[in-house]
Copies of this chain bind each other. A is one copy, B any other.
């Protein structure tokens, strides 16, 4: 465990009133001119905090990933590995964590050069997987995910020191406007919304199903939306949504028959390895945050 700097530049869940702080870190650390992304794409990511690229993986590749996912999903309802998260009101599997660690196929996929080279271009230098999971939001009853910044949680609960990480969401099903796709607030990654309240012990056992702590207030969300609006990137299976660790995002419910499934990979810079949590008594388990 490393010792903390004297001042936490991103305090959250400390004060009684929410505050909006400026981002103290770059968004792009690498060289915009060298890597798989064009300079225009890097500039757009820098400005908006996300980038959507259609058809990064071919239909045949997506089918293979789907099959690998189905094998994981076929575990019995009695399986109680902590990596397997089930719906609050049923036994259906909602997410499986640490697939890059526990499954040879997804380990290989998380090291696919198309993905890793984008991460190294944006984050500047070597990266590792901070978190991975496959999500499945069923049709008819998919629940909403309220607005949140991933970094706020990773900083407070996992001890991620600075904003030098990004997420990639690879769509395994079609993302439509109707089936509760991820919505992002463009530009919100340049603000840090501190949340009120303290983190209870073992918060992760409930927060992965429905988050209560680490929730931004309505006034701050309105501030961000007034400036950046709301973007809802939609596209075919095989499309890739890349987004900064601090962008505000969430999704509405899904009453359509169309399920939504995606592979979620978080790349963190090796210069940004986890320390002791900045606002929680104990770090979360390794399957949620690689140490």
Chain A residues in contact with chain B, CB under 8 A?
139-140, 144, 146-147, 176-178, 180, 183, 218, 221-222, 225, 230, 232, 250-258
Contact = CB atoms under 8 A, between A and B. Distances in A.
B218 A257 contact: yes
18 contacts: A140-B218, A140-B221, A144-B253, A144-B255, A146-B255, A147-B255, A176-B230, A177-B232, A178-B183, A178-B230, A178-B232, A178-B252, A225-B257, A250-B255, A252-B253, A252-B254, A252-B255, A253-B253
Contacts of A146: 255
A42 to B, nearest CB: 26
Contacts of A222: 257
Nearest to A218: B140
Copies in the complex: 2
Contacts of A251: 255
A230 B255 CA distance: 11
A80 to B, nearest CB: 27
Given A177-B177, A178-B232, A222-B257, 6 more contacts: A139-B218, A144-B255, A147-B255, A177-B232, A252-B255, A253-B253
Contacts of A256: 183, 225, 230
- Give the 8 A-B residue pairs with the shortest CB-CB distance, closest first: A177-B177, A253-B253, A252-B252, A144-B253, A222-B257, A252-B253, A178-B230, A225-B257
